[in-house]
Amino acid sequence: MRMPIGRYLELLLDACADDGGGVADYIPELAAADPDRVAVALATPDGEVYAAGDADLEFTIQSISKPFTYALAIADRGLDEVLESIDVEPSGDAFNEISLDEATGRPRNPMINAGAIAAHGLVEGADQDERDRRILDFYSEIAGRRLRIDEAVFESELSTADRNTAIAYMLRTVGTLEQPPLEVVRGYTRQCSVAVTVRDLARMAAVLAAGGRTPSGSRVLSPEVNRQVLSVMATCGMYDAAGDWLTHIGIPAKSGVAGGLVGVLPGQVGIAAFSPRLDEHGNSVRGVRIFERLNRDMGLHLMDAAEVAPAVVRRRLHDGIPVLEVTGDLRFVEAERVLRTFAEEREGEDVVVVDLTHVHHVNDVARRLLLEGIRRLNADGHPVRLVDPDRVLGSAEAGTGEIVHGEQPRGGYVPDRYEDAGAATRG
């Protein structure tokens, strides 16, 4: 079978053919970009990439670098230290506003240039070269290929970087920059000049969608850092259009003046679009259209509340013994439903069988709630027999004096199916 998703992306580009706006021209080299190019890519956390249009065309990452450098700064310095230098409030200002928050003296967020230049300066490195190298290595690792810097765009932007230089001196006067401002502007401009394709950006976004893991499963960002970055993208990623974007499209995103746009749907996909003409906020006109359309077709709004599984637990009697069969993935809400079923068991001496054969994943909160429920059932006098062949509860102590795991439940009662479940893990 041919996957229908690639074809869908081609149709999506056709549907978003109308263009408007103009290419960024404050960086001379960007003014030379072919404005008619357009591309889109979608990457899954396990590494599948679908793309259409000019998907192998390189362009400079520009401001889409900001969330990734911010992530590296937090990983290096810890969140508290980074928050002391850079706030997380949407500014409503243009991306290159020369401003600090009046009350705190900090840049308002890491997605505008003031915050991004400060974040760049917080990345560790013995000198600017090492800082530059670490940033490029990090982007390359999450993109899944060795990236390079577009030297022509770099030189071009550096020769006209007066505004960013003003911002860096301003940061230096309030004590936010440890290094000489010109050095940091140079490094920040190099970070913005990394050449990427939509495939690279979709892969980078998919790592954030996967909570900070690459498709091979290696962890590049802690869940806390990842969450911080996505939160800031959601509230500040689209500059002065951020509120409109979050309500309308509902995907944490970041745009760049070369025409790139990435979006991350946590737990699901990374998306990237490219088209050089920009609207008045500095966001790609067709990129925004592509996201609007994708959102409408695929239902990708972050605030669309996930449907709660209608039945996560079923109680039935087997030879007079209650069997609580749990199904699906368990998070807080689902675990609460299971606990309610536990609570309905009348106090007594009866064995209760809790069958987790059809549970695939239990998050940490659900796991603790379930173990607490089992402990309480035990305390009420019910010997609990747990069937957990895949060890979704791990090897945790349930407070029953016995370690809970996937082995055949001990005790007199074991229906055939449970014997099988136990046998599967005994061997």
- x/- letters, 106..125, toward ligand GLN (CB under 6 A): -------x------------
**What whole-number distance in Å separates Cα of residue 231 and Cα of residue 79?**
13
Please identify which of the residues 23, 63, 392, 404 carries the catalytic annotation. Answer: 63
164 binds ligand GLN (CB under 6 A): yes
Instruction: For residue 147, give the nearest of 200, 215, 75, 206 by alpha carbon.
Output: 200
In sequence order, what DSSP letters do the residues of 285-354 get, joined into one string? HHHHHHHHHHHHHHT--TTSPPPPPS-SEEEEEETTEEEEEEEEEE-HHHHHHHHHHHHHSPSSS--EEE
Residue ranges in 248-267 that form contacts with ligand GLN under rule CB under 6 A: 256-257
393 binds ligand GLN (CB under 6 A): no
62 binds ligand GLN (CB under 6 A): yes
# of chain residues touching ligand GLN (CB under 6 A): 11
Please identify which of the residues 50, 70, 139, 188 carries the catalytic annotation. Answer: 188
Among 30, 39, 50, 63, binds ligand GLN (CB under 6 A): 63
**What whole-number distance in Å separates Cα of residue 116 and Cα of residue 104?**
17
**What whole-number distance in Å separates Cα of residue 42 and Cα of residue 53?**
12
95 binds ligand GLN (CB under 6 A): yes
Sign of the torsion angle spanned by Cα atoms 248, 254, 257, 261: negative
241 binds ligand GLN (CB under 6 A): no
Residue ranges in 203-232 that form contacts with ligand GLN under rule CB under 6 A: none
Q: In 163-259, at which residue ranges do the beta strands (DSSP E only) sit?
A: 194-196, 253-255
254 classed as catalytic: no
181 binds ligand GLN (CB under 6 A): no
Q: Which helix (H) or strand (E) holds 49?
A: strand 49-53
Give the nearer residue to ligand GLN in terms of CB position, either 251 or 257: 257
Among 72, 135, 192, 207, binds ligand GLN (CB under 6 A): 192
φ, ψ for residue 236, nearest 5 deg: -130, 0
282 binds ligand GLN (CB under 6 A): yes
C-alpha separations of 409 from 39, 385, 405 in Å: 55, 5, 9
156 binds ligand GLN (CB under 6 A): no
Instruction: For residue 370, give the nearest of 406, 394, 350 by alpha carbon.
Output: 394
Among 132, 157, 388, 407, binds ligand GLN (CB under 6 A): 157
Please report how close the Cβ of residue 165 comes to ligand GLN at its closest, in angstroms: 11
49, 64 Cβ separation under 8 angstroms: no
Give the nearer residue to ligand GLN in terms of CB position, either 150 or 355: 150
Please report how close the Cβ of residue 407 comes to ligand GLN at its closest, in angstroms: 56
284 binds ligand GLN (CB under 6 A): no
66 classed as catalytic: yes
26 classed as catalytic: no
257 classed as catalytic: yes
What angle do the packed helices 181-192 and 65-77 form, to 10 degrees?
130
Please report how close the Cβ of residue 111 comes to ligand GLN at its closest, in angstroms: 9
Give the nearer residue to ligand GLN in terms of CB position, either 62 or 109: 62
Q: How long a stretch of residues is the chain? A: 427
Residue nearest to ligand GLN (CB): 63
Please report how close the Cβ of residue 145 comes to ligand GLN at its closest, in angstroms: 22
Three-state DSSP state, 193: coil
Beta partners for 49? 43
Beta partners for 148? 195
**What whole-number distance in Å separates Cα of residue 131 and Cα of residue 136?**
9
8 classed as catalytic: no
Give the nearer residue to ligand GLN in terms of CB position, either 50 or 95: 95
Interface positions with ligand GLN (CB under 6 A): 62-63, 95-96, 113, 157, 164, 192, 256-257, 282
What residues are annotated to the active site? 63, 66, 188, 239, 257
